[in-house]
Amino acid sequence: MLVRDAMSTVVLTIGPAHTLRQAASLMSARRVGAAVVLDPDTSGLGILTERDILVSLGLGQNPDRETAGTHTTTDVVFATPAWTLKDAARAMTQGGFRHLIVLGDSEPIGVVSVRDILRCWAPVERRTATLAG
């Protein structure tokens, strides 16, 4: 199975000036665990995850003053739609993260998460267990 089969095509894109509260509100409304942060000044893509927001809150930082840009991961590993789910899982495990931005023609076209991969693999595992039993 490929990343294109598992990825969410709901890509939330925000700017680095968004507050963490704004980012959390948008992520919640779209039911996604990560936002792609597009910085037009650097032409760079980064990612802000629910964990980044949680860490900030845990440190006692004010979500109305903290910006996405200061909590964005910019050293991002990107996936392509043609990667296998095993390739994506390996990249996530090696990098210690739970989301990958999927690029098509240098543009974000999706995000794949650990949850997406498990959702695809779990039915396969159930069928295998049923056939073995």
Domains of the chain, CATH where assigned:
3-132 (3.10.580.10)
The average pLDDT across 58-80 equals: 95
Q: Give the pLDDT band of residue 44 (cuts 50, 70, 90).
A: confident
Tell me which residue has tokens 């919640």. Answer: 28
Q: Give the pLDDT band of residue 13 (cuts 50, 70, 90).
A: very high
DSSP 76: P
pTM: 0.84
For residue 78, is pLDDT > 60?
yes
pLDDT tens-digit series, residues 88-113: 999 999 999 999 999 998 889 999 99
